[in-house]
Amino acid sequence: VKSDPEQKAPLKQCVPQNLFATYSGRPPLSVWSTGEMGKVLDTMNTACCEVAVDTETGEVEILRFGVAADPGKIMRQTSLESQIDQVMYFSQGCQLLEDFIYDRRTGVKLNNNMVDYKKPTILDVPPVQHTFIETRDGNAAYGANGISHSLANTHLVIMAIHNAAGVWVDPPATPDKVLKALGKA
């Protein structure tokens, strides 16, 4: 509480119950009353990323993403690919561009608009290579599996930067942070 920093509350009391969901859609109403989660669905997916790091400027370029996924039964190929692409581009934004800036004194977010809050554009995103292993063993409707959100690895690009340049950088990996990690700033 801003007016009294000593006053505290558990996170569970602060977060509304309706934020909980499952891969299989909205759980039965009985789940809300018991506080238990719905059915857990396994997903088998992995992703990789190749980057180029300019050690003089600190610029990071994502050359390509790769995804291998078991969607169970593929219902619609273009929807599946689009879902995966969206989550990979989301990860790119989180790791290279997106940064919340807060006023240290008040806690107010200072970049609460789409001009100051940086996100990748269609010109910034690399190709995504898709590999699907259609097992038809999914435990959702018609043998499908949920796939996209399990791929939202917010440190995929950061790990690729470490692989390429040998340094760890906290996201977003801006050029100044990369240069600092390289000992050049």
What pLDDT does residue 37 have?
56
How much is the pTM? Answer: 0.71
What pLDDT does residue 180 have?
98
Which positions of the chain have pLDDT values less than 50?
14-25, 27, 30-32
**Coil, helix or strand at residue 174:** coil
What pLDDT does residue 61 have?
95
What pLDDT does residue 12 have?
53
State how beta strands 44-53 and 128-132 pair.
unpaired
What pLDDT does residue 141 have?
77
In CATH, 43-181 is 3.30.365.10 = yes
Alpha helices (runs of H) in 11-68, residue ranges in sequence order = 11-14, 29-34
Q: What angle do CA 69, 74, 76 make, to 5 degrees?
A: 115
Is 69:133 a contact under the CB 8 Å cutoff? Answer: yes
What pLDDT does residue 27 have?
47
Report CA-CA distances (Å) from 65 to 23, 62, 73, 92, 134.
24, 8, 23, 10, 20
pLDDT tens for 99-143 read 888 899 999 988 888 787 788 888 888 999 999 988 877 777 788
Is 160:52 a contact under the CB 8 Å cutoff? Answer: no
* Per-domain residue ranges of the chain: 1-40, 43-181
What pLDDT does residue 101 have?
85
What pLDDT does residue 136 have?
72
